Amino acid sequence: MEPTERSSDKATQEMIALMAKEGQQNAWDRFQAQSPQCGFGKQGICCRICSMGPCRITKKASFGVCGADADTIAARNLVRMIAGGAASHSDHGREVAHTFKIAVENENCDYTIKDELKLREVAARYGIKVEGRNTKEIGSDLSDAVMVEFGKQEGTLLSAAAYPPPARQKVWEEFGVTPRSIDREIVEIMHRTHIGVGSDYKNLVKQGIRASLADGWGGSLIATELSDILFGSPWPIRFGANLGVLDAEQVNIIVHGHEPTLSDIIVAVSQEPELVKMAKDKGAKGINLAGICCTSNEILMRHGIPVAGNFLQQELAVMTGVVEVMLVDVQCIMPALGSLSNCFHTKLITTSPKCKIAGAEHIEFHEDRAVEIAREIIKIAIENFANRKGKSKIPKVRERGIAGFTTENIFYHLGGRFRASYRPLNDNIINGRIRGAAGVVGCNNPKQMHDSGHLTMIKELIKNNVLVVSTGCSAIAAGKAGLMRPDAAVQYCGEGLHEVCEAVGIPPVLHVGSCVDNSRILTILSNIVAEGGLGEDISELPVAGAAPEWMSEKAISIGMYFVASGVYTVIAEPLPVLGAPNLTRYLTEEMEKDVGGKWAFERDPIKAAHMMIEHIESKRDALGINKEKERKLYDMADRRALAVE
Ligand code: BF8
**Mean pLDDT score, 89-110:** 96
**Mean pLDDT score, 454-466:** 98
Q: CA 96: distance to chain centroid?
A: 16
**φ and ψ of 571, to 5 deg:** -120, 155
- Per-residue pLDDT at 258: 97
CA of 517 to the centre of ligand 1 (A): 11
**Residue 514 CA, closest ligand 1 atom number:** 9
| C-alpha closest to that of 209 among 168, 258, 153 | 168
- Per-residue pLDDT at 638: 58
Cβ of 311 below 6 Å from ligand 1: yes
- Per-residue pLDDT at 293: 98
Per DSSP, what are the bridge partners of residue 361? 349
What is the percent of the chain with per-residue pLDDT over 70, rounded to a whole number? Answer: 96
- Per-residue pLDDT at 382: 98
Cβ of 552 below 6 Å from ligand 1: yes
**Mean pLDDT score, 172-181:** 98
**Mean pLDDT score, 39-67:** 97
Per-residue pLDDT band for 643 (boundaries 50, 70, 90) equals very low
pTM for the predicted model, two decimal places = 0.96
Q: Strands 237-241 and 399-403: what pairing?
A: antiparallel
CA of 514 to the centre of ligand 1 (A): 8
| Residue whose CA is at the smallest distance from ligand 1 atom 3 | 443
**Residue 297 CA, closest ligand 1 atom number:** 9
CA of 504 to the centre of ligand 1 (A): 30
Q: Which residues contact 449 (CB under 8 A, 6 or more apart)?
A: 5, 6, 7, 8
As a whole number of angstroms, the distance between CA 479 and CA 403 comes to 8
Q: Which of 207-221, 298-312, 338-352, 614-628 has the lowest mean pLDDT?
A: 614-628
Per-residue pLDDT band for 418 (boundaries 50, 70, 90) equals low
**Residue 516 CA, closest ligand 1 atom number:** 1
**Residue 555 CA, closest ligand 1 atom number:** 5
Q: Look at phi and psi of residue 352 and say left if phi exceeds 0, alpha if psi is from -120 to 50, else beta.
A: beta
- Per-residue pLDDT at 542: 98
- Per-residue pLDDT at 419: 62
Per DSSP, what are the bridge partners of residue 444? none
- Per-residue pLDDT at 578: 98
CA of 333 to the centre of ligand 1 (A): 10
The answer on pLDDT for 289 being more than 90 is yes
Give per-residue pLDDT as tens, 15-39. 999 999 999 999 999 999 999 999 9
- Per-residue pLDDT at 413: 76
CA of 560 to the centre of ligand 1 (A): 16
- Per-residue pLDDT at 11: 98
Q: Which of 26-30, 85-89, 502-506 has the lowest mean pLDDT?
A: 502-506
Q: Which amino acid is at 69?
A: D
- Per-residue pLDDT at 642: 46
- Per-residue pLDDT at 633: 59
- Per-residue pLDDT at 412: 75
CA of 513 to the centre of ligand 1 (A): 11
Q: Which residues contact 191 (CB under 8 A, 6 or more apart)?
A: 197
Per DSSP, what are the bridge partners of residue 438? 468, 544
Per-residue pLDDT band for 644 (boundaries 50, 70, 90) equals very low
| C-alpha closest to that of 204 among 572, 596, 560 | 560
Cβ of 558 below 6 Å from ligand 1: no
**Mean pLDDT score, 587-603:** 98
Tell me how far apart the terminal alpha carbons of the chain are, to the nearest angstrom.
63
**Mean pLDDT score, 221-238:** 97
- Per-residue pLDDT at 313: 98
Q: What one-character-per-residue DSSP string does 575-626 give?
A: PTTTT-HHHHHIIIIIHHHHHS--EEE-S-HHHHHHHHHHHHHHHHHHHT-G
| Residue whose CA is at the smallest distance from ligand 1 atom 7 | 443
The answer on pLDDT for 416 being more than 70 is no
Cβ of 442 below 6 Å from ligand 1: yes
CA of 51 to the centre of ligand 1 (A): 32
Count other C-beta atoms under 10 Å from residue 474's C-beta. 32
| Helix (DSSP H) and strand (DSSP E) numbers for the chain | 30, 16
| C-alpha closest to that of 612 among 472, 435, 470, 474 | 435
Cα dist from 319 to 315, 351, 386, 616, whole Å: 6, 22, 17, 43
Q: What is the DSSP letter of 632?
A: P
Q: Contact, 218 vs 149, CB < 8 A? A: yes
Task: Cite the DSSP H helix spans in 113-219.
Answer: 116-125, 135-151, 159-162, 166-175, 182-192, 201-214
As a whole number of angstroms, the distance between CA 179 and CA 158 comes to 9
The answer on pLDDT for 325 being more than 50 is yes
Cβ of 325 below 6 Å from ligand 1: no
- Per-residue pLDDT at 640: 57
Per-residue pLDDT band for 62 (boundaries 50, 70, 90) equals very high
Cβ of 554 below 6 Å from ligand 1: yes
Cβ of 443 below 6 Å from ligand 1: yes
Cβ of 294 below 6 Å from ligand 1: yes
| Residue whose CA is at the smallest distance from ligand 1 atom 6 | 332
Per-residue pLDDT band for 411 (boundaries 50, 70, 90) equals confident
Pick the more confident residue, 149 or 410.
149
